Amino acid sequence: MGATRLATSATSQWFFPISALYKTPSRTTSDIPLDKELYDRSRGVEFLYRLGVSLGLPSSAMYTAATWFHRFYMRYSMEDYHRQDVAASCIFLATKTEECGRKLRDVAKVVCSKVSKKDIKEISDDSKEVEECQTSILLTEEVLLEGLCFDFVVDSPHAELVDLYEARSSYSLQVEECAWSIANDSYRTPLCVLYPPKIIAAACYVLAEHAIEGPQSSPLDARIASPAPSGSLPTPPSHKVQHNGVSRHAVEFFRFNETELASVADAISILLEYYGAQDLQGSSEFLTAVTSIPRPQHTSPREKLYRPFAHFAPGGPPPVNSSTPEHAIGRGATPTQPGANSPGKFASGGWRPVTEGTQEGHHQ
């Protein structure tokens, strides 16, 4: 089925309004409900992360691949191209553009291992399944290249977070690592095709600050309120009240205007909605605390994007801190202990991969 263009400007073709999510090819040509599409996108990025970790790729390559994954599905239907096929092709392409080359055969063997749940040592190089997987990756890559318009440039919110961290006069390792993990999780949502990296970075940082400081700390709206106006000018009726003692490091660092602040509020709202859709049975205390954070009040009106994931998982999903967790901050007792299926946490201004987790079966 042909690609569907949702944006025409060359400079903004990869950023879409939230309303575009309700008009993706998966919805308009395949009648897939948005909440189901977002659930499958999340699973696809989880699979993509697992491939990248198993291949020992730098986290930056996984972030690039995840961004392409979401861009692809703004133009093609998930009914026509399965998430695992697209994830594998995104990873293979990223190994070439991010200068961390891997042989096609090696990528295919890892994919086969994840899909079949076999140890990779049990899969021979010349097996039929590996040959078929290599062919699938190459065929899907052709469509991927067309969908991306051969535009491989991707900017990451993690790079913005590094700049933000370096500009701080005070240091909070917990906040920084928590924001890093939330940024990892942001790729399981479509935020990367909705907002520029600095908006996502600020949203992750502000949310991390609130999560670490606890429920009695200043509300999100106070943290992203507009700066106080000049004393010589009348205060606009719509102006937010400045809260004393509130950390506004991210807002002040990025020098956001009113429109950008509204986007930060919307991005935070989407992240909280994503976390709230998880099955919290057996999850970490910290993740439960994050999902209880009240959303910003000043957000754009829209329909709810996420439905509880338990509605889509056959037999119900596993707990988020089990062997197949869905996001980084849900694994372990604290946000400074990300689990095994995501890119690594912030460490000395760089990215580092973490160990491999379990795999998802094929075409579920």
What is the mean pLDDT for each group of 10 consecutive residues in the chain (364 residues)?
Answer: 42 85 95 95 96 94 96 96 96 92 92 88 87 95 93 91 87 89 96 96 94 85 71 45 63 90 95 90 74 87 89 57 41 34 49 36 54
Domain ranges of the chain: 18-148, 157-228+246-311
> Cα torsion for 354, 358, 359, 364, to the nearest 10°?
-130
Residue among 73, 93, 195 at smallest CA distance from 139: 93
In this prediction, residue 290 carries a pLDDT of: 85
In this prediction, residue 336 carries a pLDDT of: 30
Q: How many CA atoms lie within 13 A of 102 on its CB side?
A: 27
Sign of CA dihedral 122, 124, 129, 134: positive
In this prediction, residue 350 carries a pLDDT of: 37
* Domain 157-228+246-311 in the same topology as domain 18-148: yes
In this prediction, residue 245 carries a pLDDT of: 53
In this prediction, residue 320 carries a pLDDT of: 39
Q: How many CA atoms lie within 13 A of 168 on its CB side?
A: 17
For 18-148, CATH number out of 1.10.472.10, 3.30.1390.10, 2.40.10.230, 3.90.650.10 equals: 1.10.472.10
In this prediction, residue 279 carries a pLDDT of: 79
Name the residue with tokens 């009348």.
Answer: 234
157-228+246-311 is classed in which CATH architecture?
Answer: Orthogonal Bundle (1.10)
User: 304 — phi, psi (to 5°)?
Assistant: -65, 135
* CA–CA distances in Å: residue 192 to residues 14, 15, 50, 154: 9, 8, 19, 10
